[in-house]
Amino acid sequence: MSHHIIDIQDLHYRYPDGTRALNGVSMRIIHGESVGIVGANGAGKSTLLLQLSGIFLPTDGSINIGEIRLTKKTVREIRRKVGFVFQDPDDQLFMPTVFEDVAFGPLHLGWALENVEKSALKALEQVNCLHLKDRPPHKLSAGQKRAVSIASVIAMDPDILVLDEPSSNLDPRSRRQLIQLLKTFDHSKIIASHDLDMVLEVCERTIILENGRIAADGKTQELLTDEKLLEENGLEKPLSLQYQRLRIAK
Amino acid sequence: MTAFDSTFLDLGRLDSLSYNNTIIHRIDPRAKLIVTVVFIMAVVSFPKYALTGLIPFFTFPILIAYLAELPIGFLFRKLVIVSPFALFIGIFNPFLDREVITRLGFMNITGGWISFASVILRFILTVSAALILIATTSFPGICNALDRLKVPRIFVIQLMFLYRFIFVLTEEALRMVRARRIRAVDQKHPSFKLFVQMLGLLFIRTLDRAERIYLAMQSRGFDGEVRTLKKLSFTFGDLAFVCLFLLLFAILRLTNSSQLLGNLLLKAFQ
């Protein structure tokens, strides 16, 4: 399944105002892998994600999704493969009803109408939100909005899911449901988050970013238990692991 | 609670009403839209001094509001809020048009007063019909109906986005208003300068949001044209609804039914 490999080589990005957000990031993510991208505020997480969906194009370096290199010409093709879930569901959900929103992607990929409907309903069912299909998005709770945002992306049948802070603003139960939901997907997943406990549960691999560079890349269990490494990068050991240590000390 | 809060909640209430499930709510949005538009045209098309001819038209909003179980007091308050517009339109008529047209007991009634009353009646009729349409039809339903009735796509899409984001933007503005209230304890209203600055900030935030929404649309394949997938079924009941009311409006418009009724009553008592 070579066509689902994400290959990023020496990626640089400078914002138009001169801020250097990414300074030489390289990584290779294989099919079905779940990768957590963590790092302090301003480390470059969001910029990296925006690059992956072709919203910003690299200043230098390259991104390959499968055999396709991301350029201005291939952007539409890349976006079909990469499903991007924005941080704020109010940005993501722009149609007047949930169903129309979920159907928007497939419809604009030019699918046959019956497939559009089937795919939208299936995506809503996958996130347990089928009963919300005729509601307007402003009537949903934060957890429902998040689930519908994810449905709106998986309805397009992407190979790769990219999520920016998926657990932000969720209450504990909605967060738990989100984690369970993310575990059910067999897409490749790239998740940027400050919620290290969620990363610990969902992602087997973690990449720590620091000042636009990769500070560490390895197994989540190893990186997130390395207190020295975490502290150097403005992070902290996940709460669930801190709790474990307390229990042992008793 | 600030005035802003209550306006926001009212907007939400009108929207919630439209998701009820009554016999009127279940009618196809196209049917309701057509009936409402024809109703408004019929009311507006009366001559300048029409009064008695307009009154029978109240049956429509009253009947629909009753069948749709709408809270009359709430709709009435909404009506009062917009009434200054109608008052200003008609307020000069009594001064400009002083010709005596009819007499009521000892009083001479000038054309100006009659046309002023006519303006107010038309205002109440048309605005209440529009409010009732919004309170009985979900906004997406109205957009869908407009689209199916071949209203240019660009307007329909503007309306769709308006509906989707008016709540998001008012909430954003609301947060700013509250943040100011909390820190300016003694100052009930912002100074003009501050008000302008807040408005500017809201505008910039809105632009930022528009940018992000555009990106979200792009990443889901948006190519400059919004396509939608919607189904509506126009049933026999909907057709009956349209025909019935169009017939009623035609009768009310073409005959002076209150005069007929009056004559009938007079005859009955003679």
DSSP 8-state class, residue B241: H
| Phi and psi at residue B93, to the nearest 5° | -55, -50
Q: What is the CA radius of gyration of chain A?
A: 18
B212: nearest CB among A53, A91, A152: A91
Q: Are residues B218 and A94, on separate chains, in Cβ contact within 8 Å?
A: no
| Low-confidence spans in chain B with pLDDT less than 70 | 1-4, 230
Q: Residue range A175-198: average pLDDT?
A: 93
d(CA B114, CA B49): 6
Query: For the purposes of burial, counting CB atoms within 10 Å of the CB of B202, is it exposed (0-12), middle (13-18) or buried (19 or more)?
Result: middle
d(CA A217, CA A196): 15
Q: Does A150 touch chain B (CB under 8 A)?
A: no
Range A23-55 burial, b when 16+ CB lie within 10 A, else e: bebebebebebbbbbbbeeebbbbbbbbbbbbb
* In the predicted structure, residue A250 carries a pLDDT above the cut 60: no
A-B CB pairs within 8 A amount to 83
d(CA A90, CA B172): 12
Instruction: Say what the ipTM of the complex is.
Output: 0.82
Query: pTM for the full model?
Result: 0.79
* In the predicted structure, residue A39 carries a pLDDT above the cut 60: yes
Q: Which residues in chain B touch residue A120, judged by CB atoms under 8 angstroms apart?
A: 229
B143: nearest CB among A96, A104, A117: A96
DSSP 8-state class, residue A36: E
C-alpha dihedral (A13, A19, A24, A27), degrees to nearest 10: -60
Q: Are residues B139 and A80, on separate chains, in Cβ contact within 8 Å?
A: no
d(CA A192, CA A145): 18
Q: What is residue B101's three-state secondary structure?
A: strand
Strand order across the beta sheet in which A160-164 lies = A82-85, A160-164, A188-192, A34-38, A205-210, A213-219
What residue ranges do the domains of chain A occupy?
32-54+78-249
The string of DSSP letters for B113-170 reads: HHHHHHHHHHHHHHHHHHHHHHHHS-HHHHHHHHHHTT--HHHHHHHHHHHHHHHHHH
Nearest-neighbour CA in chain B from A96: distance (Å): 5
pLDDT in tens, A154-173: 999 999 999 999 999 899 99
> Mutate which of A65, A87, A94 to disrupt the B interface (most B C-beta within 10 Å)?
A94
> Mutate which of B11, B171, B219, B227 to disrupt the A interface (most A C-beta within 10 Å)?
B219
pLDDT in tens, A109-147: 888 888 999 999 999 999 999 999 988 898 899 999 999
* In the predicted structure, residue A180 carries a pLDDT above the cut 60: yes
Q: Are residues B213 and A152, on separate chains, in Cβ contact within 8 Å?
A: no
Written as six digits, the tokens of B178 are: 């509250």
Of all residues in chain B, the one with the smallest CA distance to A115 is: B229
pLDDT at A148: 95
φ/ψ bin of A209: left (φ > 0), alpha (ψ from -120 to 50), beta (otherwise): beta
pLDDT at B85: 86
pLDDT at B84: 87
Nearest-neighbour CA in chain B from A226: distance (Å): 36
d(CA B87, CA A24): 68
Q: Are residues B228 and A100, on separate chains, in Cβ contact within 8 Å?
A: yes
Q: Are residues A94 and B209, on separate chains, in Cβ contact within 8 Å?
A: no
pLDDT in tens, A53-99: 888 889 899 999 988 999 988 988 888 889 999 999 999 998 888 99
pLDDT at A249: 55
Q: Which residues in chain A touch residue B218, judged by CB atoms under 8 angstroms apart?
A: 55, 79
* In the predicted structure, residue A201 carries a pLDDT above the cut 90: yes
Q: Are residues A117 and B227, on separate chains, in Cβ contact within 8 Å?
A: no
Of all residues in chain B, the one with the smallest CA distance to A134 is: B140
DSSP 8-state class, residue A131: G
Range A89-107 burial, b when 16+ CB lie within 10 A, else e: bbbbbbbbbbbbbbbbbbb
Q: Does B224 touch chain A (CB under 8 A)?
A: no
Residue B212 near residue A86 (C-beta atoms within 8 A): yes
CATH ID of A32-54+78-249, from 3.40.50.970, 3.40.640.10, 3.40.50.300, 1.10.3470.10: 3.40.50.300
pLDDT at A1: 46
Q: Does A96 touch chain B (CB under 8 A)?
A: yes
Q: How confident is the model at residue A248 (pLDDT cuts 50, 70, 90)?
A: low
Query: For the purposes of burial, counting CB atoms within 10 Å of the CB of A139, is it exposed (0-12), middle (13-18) or buried (19 or more)?
Result: middle
Q: Which residues in chain B touch residue A96, judged by CB atoms under 8 angstroms apart?
A: 139-140, 143, 160, 163-164
Amino acid at A99: F
Q: Does B220 touch chain A (CB under 8 A)?
A: yes
Q: Does B213 touch chain A (CB under 8 A)?
A: yes
Residue A16 near residue A26 (C-beta atoms within 8 A): no
DSSP 8-state class, residue B188: S
